[in-house]
Structure 1
Amino acid sequence: MYEVLKKSINESDEIIMNVSFIRDSGIKLLINELKEAKEKGKKIKILTSDYMRVTEPNALYRLLEVGGVKIFDNPSNKSFHPKTYIFKKENQFEIYIGSSNISYSALVTGVEWNYNFRKEKDKEVAEILEEFGELYEKNSFELTLEWVREYEKRYRKNEYGELFDKDEKVENREIEPIKFQIPALYELSKTREEGYKKALVIVGTGLGKTYLSVFDSKAFNKILFIAHRDEILRGARKSFQSFYGDKKTYGFFNGMEKDNDKDIVFASISTLSKDEYLNETWFSKKSFDYIVVDEFHHSSSKSYLKVLNYFEPEFLLGLTATPDRNDNGDIYKLCDYNIAYECDFRVGINNGWLVPFEYFGIYDDTDYSLIPWRSGKYDLLALENALVVEKRVENIFKKYMEYRKNFTVGFCASINHCKVMNEYFRKKGIKSEIIIGDTPIIKRQEIIERFQQKKIEVIFTVDIFNEGVDIPCIDTLLFLRPTLSYTIFIQQLGRGLRTFDGKDKLRVLDFVGNYKGAELRPAFLTGEYKREKSSINVIDKNYLLPEGCSTEFDFKLIEYFEKLKRKNIKQEELVKLDYQKLMEVLEKVPTIMETYTFGEIPVHMYIKTFKSWYNFQKEIGVLNEQQKNYSQKAIEFLSFLESTSMTKSYKMPLFLALFDTLNREQSIEKIGEYFKKFYQNKRYAKDLNNKKHMEWENWSNKKFEKLAEENPIKHLTKKGKNMEYFTYEDRIFSLNKELYEEILKNKELLKEIRERIEYRVINYFSRKYMEG
């Protein structure tokens, strides 16, 4: 069927496919022919379904580029089993009806029966086309990026689907995108179409981040790959060379080698960032079309910032497994807050890219209510003393012996906690070691090597391993400390989810007590942790785990979770707790944008709960002296910027005209220029989608002036409260004089105004157009 379908696609004028499911193994055999058919202007209609969730999200991501694809609308989950292929060439129809869906097995290796006939349009052909039209036009919906994103989240790999791929041959095949790379490549292509020149991709270790950059860089000539360790650079070169072969030239730019004229340069950040090299003698600002920064969570350091601020590539790709939230720098801002793709653990497990987990929530009778709680965390010394009690350590060891597999990592609260656990396990005859931040690299590598050779059974560490430590054999995790951070919990869980020969599941032993945030554990494990909603319990209907995962909680914990759930913690306390955690992580008072970027509760919930950002900061006592001296008018203006209605983004370029560089007055001509510049950015152009915006790309400045006058200016200067802030006379838009003079004298106030405008722009487009 593969050969005849390929031939028919190439030779036909119109292509119709009606199949119950599409596997990635099958569509990648036909995708190039379908893309060529689209480019030649051939009519393409493809109907498939999500029936039994056999159709793979990756297959649908590929088909987004083809278009003409619809999904059978099947809310009642009725049986949907058609397998029909129709090709029209002039007046001739060639039709295949049979048993082959689009999978490798069905098209290449399986035993399938398909009936083929060729004829001009007659009553029989007309009936087939009519039946297809009924399904395609009236009983299906268009395949969209938004729908695929949602389908990817709920998709679960199952044995039924795997049957169709099991015979797929992989030997001697050219290197091609796999796993998360397929949707990530589509999202990166889409994000460039929208005008972004920078993007961040967040995906777990070991899934193939480097190869993603290999495939994504195909359309660019000169490529720069930046990393902080030589082994990363050498591994990256192997990946790029295995794909491009001798079509490209390769070189290193590090302490030993200085290749600056190759097609692809692999650069050590410590060398590249030196002033003696970061200049026109060695590199022009536009030396590279495409720049990749591996381990992008380092990018807010001085050396990376120097490099990123120097070069002007056509596109910048940041890669990271987990953005390091202990870094004061804002890496998201460096990528224009554009997270092109993120593969969370649910998607990874459901697609079979990561192993499932079996989780055991073990009751810990430590009374955490007796431990002092300060600035978003427990007092470390008091916590240590509570965690190293002999009874607790004995219970941990007992459970370890009961449940252990082969390769165990235990996460502890502190270095001292690590040492106590290590000593106890050694006394009991277990071969254990500790790895902490101060462990020398050579020593760390030696421990890991012995661990992988089964010469060490347990490694105790604090929080998570530093990046670059990749141990796929880990099959048992011990969570020995409290954490109410979803990010830290998932980072720790992720250390054991890597696939490995002979490893079918990850086992997690979590010692859970009455500490703050304990009731969030069930929500964490589902991957559906919603920051705005209350916690769920394991006995709730919406407690749904990723495919193949299981959990078992001690009954005392289930009772405890239910009790806390009924107690219903006030939203005010949750918001304050989130901010306190953030202060501890960033080691400073977080701004509104830092909270938007790093917080686990959305900023709009802060504003909704406390009526304004200023009120919230005042309530928890973090206002600085400048903020305390703001006039009431300034405070109200900040609140106005946070809450002013936005059915369109028109107000934002208007505000930028006043505050981008502080001006009390701005002519309508200048405002028109700001509007034009704002909407020429493809990221914002999508908001000009009404009939009145027809052919806006060709608008003169006058038309943008008219747009500004008719909507935001008219709205902001009509009688009412806004008159306190703005006026419009003689084609001049003006800011209140008193307010302007206060802003002029107070840089902190101007900074806060600009940040609120930035927040409204980013939040508006991300929420309205489902970006990021």
Structure 2
Amino acid sequence: MYESLKRSIDNCDEIIMNVSFIRDSGMKLLIDDLKKAKEKGKKIRILTSDYMKVTEPNALYRLLEIGGIKIFENPLNRSFHPKAYIFRKENDFEFYVGSSNISYSALISGVEWNYHFISKESSEIEEILDEFTELYEKNSFELTIEWLREYEKRYKKSDYGELFDNKERVEKKVIEPIKFQIPALYELSKTREEGYNKAMIVVGTGLGKTYLAVFDSMNYKKILIIAHRDEILKGAKNSFENVYKDERTYGFFNGERKECGRDITFASISTICKKEYLNRNYFDENYFDYIVVDEFHHSSSKSYLKVLEYFKPKFLLGLTATPDRNDNGNVYKLCDYNIAYECDFRVGINNGWLVPFEYYGIYDSIDYSAIPWRSGKYDLLALENALIVEKRLSLIYDKYIEFRKKYSIGFCASVKHCQVMNEYFKRKGIKSEIIIGETPIAKRQDIIEKFKSKEIDIIFTVDIFNEGVDIPEIDSILFLRPTNSYTIFIQQLGRGLRTYEGKEKLRVLDFVGNYKGAEYRPLFLTGNYKRGSKIVNVTDKNFLLPEGCSAEFSFELIEEFEKLKRKNIKLEELIKTEYLELMEKLEKVPSIMEVYTYGDIPVNSYTRCFKNWYNFQEIMDVLTTEQKCYSKLGLEFLEFIESTSMTKSYKIPLLLSFIENLNKNISIEEIGSYFKRFYNLSYHKKDLNNKKHSDLINWDNKKFEKLAEDNPIKYLTEKGKNSEFFQYIKPNFILSDQLYKELQNDEFLKEVKERIEYRKINYFHRKYMEE
């Protein structure tokens, strides 16, 4: 069937496919032929469905650039089982009707019956085409990236779907994009088309982030890969060599070797950041076309900033499992707030890219309410003393023996806690070890090798395994510490989710007590946690785990969760708690952009609950002396920026046009020039998408002046509106004397700029990037 379809696609003028599902194993076979057909201008219409969720998201990602793809609209979940392929060449029609959908098995290896015939145009042919057109035009919707992103999140791999792929044979070893790499590559291509030259990819460990960089960088000549450990660089070199072979030259730039002039350079951040190397004697600032930063959440540290500020690549790609940092570095800003693609553990498990988990929530009888809570965390000494009592050590050991698997990791609260756990298990005859920050690299590697070879049964650690440690063998995780951090919980859970031969599930033993945030543990497991989310108990209908996962909680825990669920925690209190936690984390008073970047609760929840940002800061008692001196008009202007409505982005370039260089009067000609620069950036241009903007690329300054006059200047100033702030006396847009005077205050001006930046970033993200 595959060879026949290839010939028909090549020989026709129009392609029609009506198939109930499409598997990626089949689409890989046909996609190149369909691309060639599109390049030749052939009309393509393909109708498929999400019936029974057999169609794979990755197959649809491959088809996005083809166009003409529709999804059968099926709110009643009717059976949808057509398998028809129609090819037209002038007045001749070629048909395949039978049992083959688009999958490897259906096209190559399975037992399928398909009837093939050729016919001239006739009333019968017309009837068939009319039936297809009825389905295609009136009973389906266009495949869009927005719908596909949502489908990817709810898709669940099933054994039924796998039946169509399991006969696939690889005739020759060709490394090609797999798993999350397919949608991520599409999103990266799309983000470059929109004008971005920086992007972050957020995806869990073990899914192949490095190979994503290999495939995405193929059209660039000089490539730099930066990491903080030589082991990561060596692994990256292997990945690039596996794909490029000897077509490229490779070099290391680290403490031992300084190899310049290579196509692909693997650099240690501790070496390349030095001033003696960031110069033309080694690398010109434009030398690299494409830069990859592994573990991108470190990139706001001084060493990374030196490198990123020096080099001017055509594209910067940041790779990380979590973009959150424990200091005040703004990682998001370094990639222009452009997260091109995210793959959380739900998507990974549902697609079969990660193993499912079997979770056991074990009741921990420690009374955490008796432990002092300071600045968003428990007093460490008091916590340690509570965790190392004999009763708890014995409970952990007994449960470990009951549920033990081959390769276990135990996450502890502190170094002392690690040491006590290790000593206790050794006394019980368990081969255990600890890895902490002070463990020398050589000893750490020795312990890991012994662990892999089963000479060690369990390793106790604190946070060392949160990142940068790749041990796919891990099949059992013990949470021995309280944590109310979703990020830390998911980081540590992710240590065991990587697929490995013979590993079917990750077993999780979680010792849960009445500590702060424990009631959110069921919600953590669903992957749907957001700050401010309602508590979900395991008995609720919306306690939905990823495909193949299970969770079993002690009855005492279920009762405890139910008690806490009945308590109505007000959003105002959640906001205050989050803000205090961010203040502790950043070690300073968080700004509005820092809350937007690092917080879980949206900024508009802050401003809605507390009227405006200034009022919230006043209630939190964090205003500076200078802020307390702002005039009434100044405060009204700050609130105006926060709350002014925006169905389009027009107000943003208008405000920026006089704020960036702070002029009291700015001419309409200058405003038009600023509008032109603003909307000539591709990621802003997409907001001018009406018919009247169709010739935007050819607009002169006058047309941008008219755009600014019609909206927003007219809207903001007609009938004396906002006269306390500004007015328009043609040809000048004029700030009021009092506002202009207020803007001379550097602190006030900084807050104005930050609010405009927040509105800009939030507007484009919400309108064009969120599902």
TM-score, structure 1 normalization: 0.97
Once residues 261 and 766 of structure 1 are traced to their aligned partners in structure 2, the CA distance between those partners, rounded to angstroms, is 39
Q: Deviations over 1:116-146 (max 9, x none)?
A: 0011112332222121111111111100101
Aligned to 1:524: 524
Verify the 8 A CA contact 1:534 1:568 in the aligned structure 2: no
**Residue aligned with 1:286, SS:** coil
| Distance in 2 of aligned mates of 1:642 and 1:609 | 13
Q: Is this contact kept in 2: 1:349–1:546, CA < 8 A?
A: yes
Shift of 1:622: 2.1
Which residue of structure 2 aligns with residue 505 of structure 1? Answer: 505
Counterpart of 2:659?
A: 659
Q: What is the deviation of 1:719?
A: 4.8
Tell me how far apart the structure 1 counterparts of residues 576 and 347 of structure 2 sit (CA, whole Å): 31
Using the alignment, how far apart are the partners of 1:197 and 1:397 within structure 2?
Answer: 52
Separation in structure 1 between the aligned mates of residue 273 and residue 464 of structure 2, nearest angstrom: 28
Alignment of structure 1 residues 605-616 onto 2, 5 Å: 605-616=605-616
Distance 2:633 2:461 in 1: 52
Distance in 1 (CA, whole Å) between partners of 2:718 and 2:489 is 51
Tell me: CA distance 1:666–1:161, structure 2 relative to 1, closer, same or farther (3 Å). Answer: same
User: What is the correspondence of 1:367-516 to structure 2 with a 5 Å cutoff?
Assistant: 367-465=367-465, 467-516=467-516
* Alpha-carbon offset, residue 5 of structure 1: 0.5
Measure, in 2, the Cα distance between the counterparts of 1:718 and 1:469.
Answer: 61
Identical counterparts, % of pairs: 72
Q: Which moved more, 1:596-605 or 1:354-363?
A: 596-605
1:770 aligned partner? 769
SS at match of 1:521: helix
Matched-pair contact (CA < 8 Å) for 1:532–1:605: no
Distance 2:445 2:625 in 1: 49
> Is the Cα contact below 8 Å between 1:17 and 1:47 reproduced in 2?
yes
Cα distance in 1 between the residues matched to 2:516 and 2:611: 26
Q: Distance in 2 between matches of 1:76 and 1:532?
A: 34
- Alignment partner, residue 323 of structure 1: 323
Question: Relative to structure 2, which stretch is displaced further, 79-88 or 304-313?
Answer: 304-313
Q: Is the 8 A contact 2:327 2:587 kept in 1?
A: no
Alignment of 1:567-646 (within 5 A): 567-646=567-646
- How far residue 643 of structure 1 moved from its aligned partner, in angstroms, is 1.0
Give the deviation of 1:628 after TM superposition: 2.6
4+ runs of 1 displaced by more than 6 Å? none
Say which is worse superposed, 25-34 or 465-474, in terms of deviation: 465-474
Question: Residue 432 of structure 2 contacts residue 459 of structure 2 at CA under 8 Å; is this kept in 1?
Answer: yes
- More displaced, 147-156 or 453-462? 453-462
Q: What is the match of residue 752 of structure 2?
A: 753
Matched position secondary structure for 1:391: helix
Q: Distance in 2 between matches of 1:21 and 1:532?
A: 38
AA of the residue aligned to 2:73: D
Partner Cα distance (2:609, 2:457) in 1? 49
Q: Following TM superposition, by how much is the alpha carbon of 1:532 offset from its aligned partner in structure 2, in angstroms?
A: 4.2
Equivalence for 2:80: 80
Question: What is the CA deviation profile of residues 690-744 of structure 1, one whole-angstrom value per residue up to 9, with x for unaligned ones?
Answer: 2332312211112211211222222222456722212222422222322322331
Contact 2:437 2:464 (8 Å CA) reproduced: no
Q: Distance in 1 between matches of 2:549 and 2:572?
A: 34
Measure, in 1, the Cα distance between the counterparts of 2:703 and 2:81.
Answer: 54
- Give 1:420 shift: 2.0
- Alignment partner, residue 360 of structure 1: 360
| Residue 122 of structure 1: aligned partner | 122
Equivalent AA in structure 2 for residue 555 of structure 1: F
Aligned residue identity for 2:483: T
Alignment-derived partner of residue 669 in structure 2: 669
Aligned to 1:168: 168
C-alpha displacement at 1:507, in angstroms? 0.9
1:706 is aligned with what amino acid?
A: K
The CA deviation string for residues 517-543 of structure 1, in whole angstroms up to 9 with x for no partner, is 111111111111233431211111111
Pair 329,631 (structure 1): closer, same or farther in 2 beyond 3 Å: same
Counting only pairs closer than 5 Å after superposition, residues 20-419 of structure 1 correspond to structure 2 as: 20-419=20-419
Determine the C-alpha separation between the residues in 1 that align with 2:87 and 2:535: 53
After the TM superposition, which of the residue ranges 585-594 and 137-146 deviates more from structure 2? 585-594
Partners of 2:66 and 2:287 in 1: CA distance = 34
Q: Distance in 2 between matches of 1:636 and 1:376?
A: 33
Distance 1:525 1:709, change over 3 A: same
Q: Residue 765 of structure 1 contacts residue 771 of structure 1 at CA under 8 Å; is this kept in 2?
A: no
8 Å Cα contact 1:531-1:602 kept in structure 2: no
Deviates more, 1:381-390 or 1:357-366: 381-390
* Contact in 2 for aligned 1:194/1:683 (Cα 8 Å): yes
Structure 1 CA distance for aligned equivalents of residues 453 and 263 of structure 2: 40
Deviations 1:76-111 (A, max 9, x none): 111111111111112211100011110001111101
Superimposed CA distance per residue, residues 324-382 of structure 1 (whole angstroms, 9 cap, x where no aligned partner): 42132111110001011111000000011100001111112222222222222222222
Task: Report the Cα distance in structure 1 between the residues aligned to 2:683 and 2:514, rounded to whole angstroms.
Answer: 46
Matches of 1:512 and 1:7, distance apart in 2: 61
1:726/1:734 contact within 8 Å kept: yes
- C-alpha distance in 2 between matches for 1:423 and 1:738: 70
1:231 Cα offset (Å) = 2.4
Equivalents in 2 of 1:529, 1:464: separation in Å? Answer: 24
1:736 is matched with which residue?
736
Distance 1:607 1:35 in 2: 49
In the alignment, structure 1 residue 702 sits paired with structure 2 residue 702: yes
Q: Which amino acid aligns with 1:591?
A: S
Letter in structure 1 aligned against 2:260: N
Give the partner amino acid of 2:489: F
Partner of 1:523, secondary structure, is helix
| Structure-2 separation of matches of 1:182 and 1:21 | 18
Is the 8 Å Cα contact of residues 464 and 491 (structure 1) preserved in structure 2?
no
Give the C-alpha shift of residue 41 in structure 1: 0.3
Change (3 A) 1:719 1:534: farther
The one-letter code of the counterpart of 2:749 is L
Alpha-carbon separation, structure 2, partners of 1:704 and 1:733: 15
What do residues 375-398 of structure 1 show as CA deviations (whole Å, max 9, x unaligned)?
A: 222222222222222222222222
* Residues in 2 aligned to 1:40 and 1:569: alpha-carbon distance in whole angstroms: 61
Residue 476 of structure 2 aligns with an amino acid whose one-letter code is: T
Does structure 1 retain, via aligned residues, the 8 Å contact 2:435–2:464?
no
> What is the aligned partner in structure 2 of residue 650 from structure 1?
650
Measure, in 2, the Cα distance between the counterparts of 1:50 and 1:730. 56
- Provide the rounded CA distance (Å) in 2 between the counterparts of 1:244 and 1:713: 55
Q: Which amino acid aligns with 1:633?
A: L
Query: For residues 413 and 627 of structure 1, what CA distance do their matches in structure 2 show?
Result: 40
Distance 2:432 2:15 in 1: 63
- Is the Cα contact below 8 Å between 2:472 and 2:499 reproduced in 1? yes
1:747 partner letter: D
My pick for the range that moved more, 631-640 or 516-525, is 631-640
Cα RMSD (Å): 1.6
Deviation at 1:246, TM superposition (A): 2.9
What CA distance in whole angstroms lies between the structure 1 residues aligned with 2:640 and 2:303? 39
Unaligned 5+ runs, structure 1: none
TM-score normalised by length of structure 2: 0.97
CA distances 1:246-276 after superposition (whole Å, capped 9, x unpaired): 3322222333433332222222223322222
Pairwise CA distance, 1:466: 5.2
Match of 1:537 in 2: 537
Structure 1 letter corresponding to 2:573 = E
Moved more, 449-458 or 16-25: 449-458
Equivalent AA in structure 2 for residue 550 of structure 1? S
| C-alpha distance in structure 1 between counterparts of 2:434 and 2:639, whole Å | 50
Kept in 2: contact 1:648–1:687 (CA 8 A): yes
Matched position secondary structure for 1:167: coil
Runs of 5+ consecutive residues of structure 2 not aligned to the other structure: none
* Residue identity opposite 1:165 in structure 2: D
Question: Per the alignment, do residues 255 and 398 of structure 1 end up closer, same or farther by CA in structure 2, a change over 3 Å counting?
Answer: closer
